[in-house]
Amino acid sequence: MSNVVMEIENLHARIGAKEILKGLNLQLEEGKVHAIMGPNGAGKSTLSKAITGHYDVEVTEGAIRYKGQEIVDWEPEDRALEGIFLSFQNPVEIPGVNNAYFLRTAVNAKRKHQGLEELNAAEFLREMKALVQELGMKPEMINRSLNEGFSGGEKKRNEILQMMMLQPDLIILDEIDSGLDIDALRAVSEGINKMKDGKRSFLVITHYSRILDYIEPDYIHVLKDGKIIKTAGPELVAELEEKGYGAIEEA
Amino acid sequence: MRPMLLGEMTPETLMEELGTSPSKALAARRLAQLGMPTRKSEAYRYFDIEPLMAHDWEILRNEASAEIAESEEQIVITDGRVTALPKGVEVQVGCSDAIDLDGNHFDPLYYLGHLLSPEVISIRFKEDAKVTLVHRFTQPGKLLAYRTAIYLDANTHVQIDERFEGEQACGALILSGSDVFISRDATLTLIKDETLKEGDYVPILSHRIKVDSQALCRLHSFDFGAGSGLQLIRVQLHEHARIDADHLLYATDHARRGTVSQIVHIGQSSVSNQRAKNILAEKARGIFDALIKVEHTGKYTKAHQNSKAILLNDGAYMASKPQLEIYIDDLEASHGSTTGQLDEAQLFYLRSRGIAKEEARKMLILAFANELIDALEDERMRERLHASFETAYWGVTNVTCMETCHGCEDLAAGTAAK
Ligand SMILES: Nc1ncnc2c1ncn2[C@@H]1O[C@H](COP(=O)(O)OP(=O)(O)OP(=O)(O)O)[C@@H](O)[C@H]1O
Ligand SMILES: [Mg+2]
């Protein structure tokens, strides 16, 4: 077995007074692609929020260990600087914050954290521009306000752009495939595949097998009612498509 | 002149003190009707005026300086006296009889300012111009009253960049402001940039702006810092006249700061568009007390007014009172007001990308302010105001090209093409 990059143990978490994660266990391996599938409202996005330190989610019990360290008390920015990245199911719009300025600030915060020299505006723009083209985004996106007025698909591509610029170690993709047209799905999947380097780990939350055809997961986990109830290889996808979640019993 | 307790003055005693002239008589009569400002005065209901009225002020009197320096593009008024002028700008200094006072101003201190001003500094633009108007205050702890009048001849297009320098004038009270006359088809862009530190002078700037037929006034006020002050503005719009008024306020510590305004649509098809954005930190109080009034004669008027406030601390407070007073049916009007905190979801998004909390907050605050800074047409002014805002908020500025200019697209395109 490869090294474990993240180990989630007996995680209980709530939003407001409502317990959403109810003793969830999950191990993510270095260099592997893990897919999470599960019914609406099962707690998939809540899990991604718990990992990234979202203010809505309160962890009441259990542990999240990342590269051997317990991160439940870490600030969101520290988790990000240490390599955790979440592509949001619904990225927020931030009017008045220039997309390029935002991303350069983020990239340079990370470079500074790693003891690297900051990129100047020209170097940064050269890289960003190249990736924008690769992802089939309109060049004007560079100087628009962050996500403001972006279509659903444009927002998702912008998340992937950020992922590619930030070069994280653990990438969580929350329904990156929803709302994407066929070309966008291909561009986004190619972007993700390019990021695979045998070290980097992925947690892909999805409802559809289509994206999994492109990015070939190593493991499929089924999340239902706040717990991982089954873990198997990619062959599970076909079974789920056929029988639905109702047929999966807690192991 | 002996010291004055403003709160105990009556128009009669003032007239005795100051001598009579027709316009002073009008000012005195209006002041008598409105009464000296108290906590109960409409215009000052959110501003703490009483300590200023109860203070025993020594009135600053300066002799006219013989020397008026010639400058590139700056008009400098030092302690109420013109001390520098650019070539080509006509300035007359004369008694207030020369100007046509607003007989219906809502602000008693508009009239008191006129009564106490020895004369009015009249600046007349006969052709297009871009000038900087510097108000410099050097005397601490005194009351300085002076008035300016600005005239734009028909068809002229003028930009005035108004600045304030008063580091040495701590504790002073400035009763000032302009009577502005914008003739037919003329355009005035007035950009006011005033950052006050705690303990600085207190400006009470009372303006009246008359916008003639088809003329346009663009007013951009930028009030920043920890000091207190108020601007009171009455605007009269004639046929097809238009005003776009933007007010960006960033107040902190114990500041009380803001705008009290009255925009009156007199002529038909006149347009007003007023936007206030207020950022309040610590225990600051922001004021946006703004009335739009559409007279019977103001058919087909368009009047829009909006105020947004962000409170950065629990102790901060926004007094926002947008109001419409309408005497006709045929018009398009809207007004609204919101007060809230920084958006948590936006803050989290930025932090989840590795941007530290303080930096993320700053980005969101700048984003909120940017809308009104970016509304400036003049690119150099945009850059200056970005820097002013950053300095007021952050203590230093590190505005980079990506925050202010939109030429980066070209740069990006250029570098990628190679
Ligand atoms: N801010 C919130 N306030 C109250 N309840 C919430 C909040 N966010 C999520 N929930 C609830 O938590 C539960 C889990 O939501 P979550 O978003 O994690 O589901 P999900 O598995 O991602 O579903 P989907 O497939 O629809 O995206 C749902 O019942 C949802 O209504
Ligand atoms: Mg979800």
The shortest CB-CB distance from A91 to any of B349, B366, B416 is to B349
pLDDT tens digits along B267-325? 999 999 999 999 999 999 999 999 999 999 999 999 999 999 999 999 999 999 999 99
Does the distance separating the beta carbons of A142 and B408 come in below 8 Å?
Answer: yes
- Band (pLDDT 50/70/90 cuts) for residue B398 is low
ipTM of the complex: 0.97
Distance A30 CA to ligand 1 centre (A): 28
- Band (pLDDT 50/70/90 cuts) for residue B1 is very low
Ligand nearest to the CA of A223: 1
Helix and strand counts by DSSP (H, E) for chain B? 9, 24
Chain A: give the shortest CA distance to residue B283, in Å: 26
pLDDT score recorded for residue B417:
35
Does the distance separating the beta carbons of A113 and B402 come in below 8 Å?
Answer: no
The shortest CB-CB distance from B406 to any of A139, A143, A166 is to A143
* pLDDT at residue B409 greater than cutoff 50: no
Q: Structure tokens of B218? A: 């663009």
The residue in chain B having the minimum alpha-carbon distance to the alpha carbon of residue A53 is B352
Chain A: give the shortest CA distance to residue B355, in Å: 6
Query: What's the mean per-residue pLDDT of chain B?
Result: 89
Q: 3.30.110.30, 3.40.50.410, 3.40.50.300, 1.20.1050.10: which CATH number matches A4-250?
A: 3.40.50.300
The shortest CB-CB distance from B408 to any of A91, A100, A110 is to A100
- Band (pLDDT 50/70/90 cuts) for residue B96 is low
Q: Is A168 in the pocket of ligand 1 (CB under 6 A)?
A: no
Name every chain B residue with its beta carbon within 8 A of the beta carbon of A167: none
pLDDT score recorded for residue B4:
64
Distance A210 CA to ligand 1 centre (A): 23
Distance A95 CA to ligand 2 centre (A): 24
pLDDT score recorded for residue B410:
41
Distance A37 CA to ligand 1 centre (A): 14
Distance A47 CA to ligand 2 centre (A): 9
Closest residue by Cα to atom 27, ligand 1, is A40
- Band (pLDDT 50/70/90 cuts) for residue B418 is very low
Computed from CA positions of residues A131, A136, A142, A146, in that sequence, does the dihedral angle turn out positive or negative? Answer: negative
Distance B23 CA to ligand 2 centre (A): 71
Q: How far apart are CA B118 and CA B176, in angstroms?
A: 12
pTM: 0.86
Q: Tell which residue, B275, B272, B285, has the closest CA to residue B313.
A: B285
pLDDT score recorded for residue B180:
98
Q: How far apart are CA B89 and CA B66, in angstroms?
A: 18
Name every chain B residue with its beta carbon within 8 A of the beta carbon of A103: 353
pLDDT tens digits along B58-94? 999 877 666 788 888 899 999 999 998 887 777 776 6
pLDDT tens digits along B157-210? 999 999 999 999 999 999 999 999 999 999 999 999 999 999 999 999 999 999
pLDDT score recorded for residue B344:
96
- Pairing mode, strands A69-70 and B4-5: unpaired
Chain A: give the shortest CA distance to residue B373, in Å: 11
Query: What's the mean per-residue pLDDT of chain A?
Result: 94
Name every chain A residue with its beta carbon within 8 A of the beta carbon of B350: 94, 97, 102, 106
Backbone angles phi, psi at B53, to 5 degrees: -75, -30
**Residues of A at the B interface, defined by Cβ within 8 angstroms:** 52-55, 75-77, 79-81, 85-86, 88, 91-92, 94-98, 100-106, 109-110, 113, 121-122, 125-126, 128-130, 133, 139-140, 142-143, 145, 162, 166
Residue appearing with tokens 């109702």: A246
List Cα–Cα distances, B318 to B41, B49, B271, in angstroms: 19, 17, 27
pLDDT tens digits along A127-163? 999 999 999 999 999 999 999 999 999 999 999 999 9
Q: Is A40 in the pocket of ligand 1 (CB under 6 A)?
A: yes
The shortest CB-CB distance from B355 to any of A52, A86, A106 is to A106
Q: Tell which residue, B180, B182, B223, B173, has the closest CA to residue B202.
A: B173
pLDDT score recorded for residue A248:
80
Does the distance separating the beta carbons of A104 and B412 come in below 8 Å?
Answer: no
Ligand nearest to the CA of A18: 1
pLDDT tens digits along A48-98? 999 999 999 999 999 999 999 999 999 999 999 999 999 999 999 999 899
The shortest CB-CB distance from B353 to any of A54, A96, A166 is to A166
Distance A45 CA to ligand 1 centre (A): 7
Chain A: give the shortest CA distance to residue B357, in Å: 8
Which of B351, B359, B404, B409 is the best substitution to test chain A (most A C-beta atoms within 10 A)?
B351
* pLDDT at residue A251 greater than cutoff 60: no
The residue in chain A having the minimum alpha-carbon distance to the alpha carbon of residue B415 is A126
Q: Tell which residue, A73, A84, A88, A87, has the closest CA to residue A113.
A: A84
pLDDT score recorded for residue B9:
72
Q: How far apart are CA B418 and CA B416, in angstroms?
A: 5
Angle between helices A121-134 and A152-166 in degrees, nearest 10: 130
Q: How far apart are CA B240 and CA A184, in angstroms?
A: 50
List Cα–Cα distances, A43 to A3, A20, A37, A219, B194, in angstroms: 26, 6, 10, 19, 51
Q: Is A17 in the pocket of ligand 1 (CB under 6 A)?
A: no
